[in-house]
Structure 1
């Protein structure tokens, strides 16, 4: 009896169709093969791009339905695109029922242990500090600035990664020292990180230098690079749909940004992991099961958005969302507000 037959939900969650592998490596190889094939295909201009953004989901959902189970190595992954289930998971991502999946080591090297990766008390502390730095007035003020094993081997690519990481950390450390000496504006992001804060017991505490460096990396890579990608697509869409250019003023910028994020989400897949045995909808899911939400599929679902789901139509955001989880371009509501402020300012 293979590992799939032993997985408890197979006997209880009958609405979930498993994608059965002959061995635990098969699905990983199949995902790599499907993704490689997808990269060779051209992206059409009508925005029907699910086969490119989430190619393995696109193919397997046709075979197994919108909710299915597959294996990534020895870990079971349950793929869910039902907005009600997604909403339930995101509202209970407190580290007790559901939690974030740890970044892979290469991604962690890029972001460090910043806001995107943190949970619980540390996340709340970093959120409180960053929220002060990124109120809308402060964000507007920066507009003028913008015109398992392989990683340890001393390969040419890894040496370059290590060099860049060292150089980045040293540069940030120099900025920290400069800011410490100047202290001209302690209310900017770096100044707030350096300032002390009161913990729950009313005691004064400070973030460590390494914590500050990781947060600086997070806000640069997550705030700058993802924004550049988003704005590239937004400009292309406006070029293709010139009737919207004359309406691209302050009242409709957020609609254009949201519609761009719907068609081309910054992260086509969001993930969580169960902390304990849980019941989600009609599924009984054991602890330590990875949950994958194909946001690109939800954002392009005609049952949710109508027959024009693959068309660029910012006016769909003039009215309140029909479902809280049907449009989810960011990991949390707070992060959505934070990155939207940065994006609108840079745009």
Structure 2
């Protein structure tokens, strides 16, 4: 069975046609969609994290609210930009959220993606050390966060209060959380590093490199490199791999009205310049269910991954997106052997 989840970017804006006009709308509707997805049998609910934008931002209050309203579905991020984070405060928030969820948190972390703000992390007070890149800084923050959630002592005790000066760990601790950390990788090199570090792999519909091959083939190569690096490093357990796809079955007249015209325009990969280099963007899968089954069966990365995150058009509201997820589960997943 394939693990099927949804990923919401949480866009909100008071524009015609949008049912998500405010930040409050985006937050409350994300909770309601998680509840509806769990009832449908969806396996996970994830949120994207952006700063200085009309999208979901600080994820832990939202994830805790989702946890309090659900009981089975995995909850996660895809991804948290670690350039912005205080690792120890984040470790406390993550542990609290994981405890509320009874161990259902799956945290995707990353160096982050191009964003609306220039040097946005610096506005948060986070400046890379001299000679460090922002990617180096994000990895260092990630390493410290992982130490914290694993229970490492990171501050010396005050003997006046504790009777000793040994190291203290952050509290609370949530057992098992350290084994549920993912890294958002956009290249084969970072996929290899992720496997070496013993984190799970999360890859989206954007790769920050291009070799001329189809997106799914390039991503499948990334996945193979990750799994080989994990095995060579000798990490215990089975590494997990998640890919994100826009999957929009045209089942109802409403589906065709919203997405019928896009079925022709978005049916191929796109290559463009990003951060000074070439990047490959994955296509959207839009069409009749039988056609989607045929197309997705040819996507090497989808076949190689154990988890598929379906990116949802959240501005169309909870009811529409619940029906979209239901259509994937009923009309697409069985034909691919996912259910």
Q: TM-score, normalised by structure 2?
A: 0.23
Q: Which TM-score applies when normalising by structure 1?
A: 0.23
Structure of higher CA gyration radius: 1
Bigger helix fraction? 1
**More RCO (CA 8 Å, sep 6+):** 1
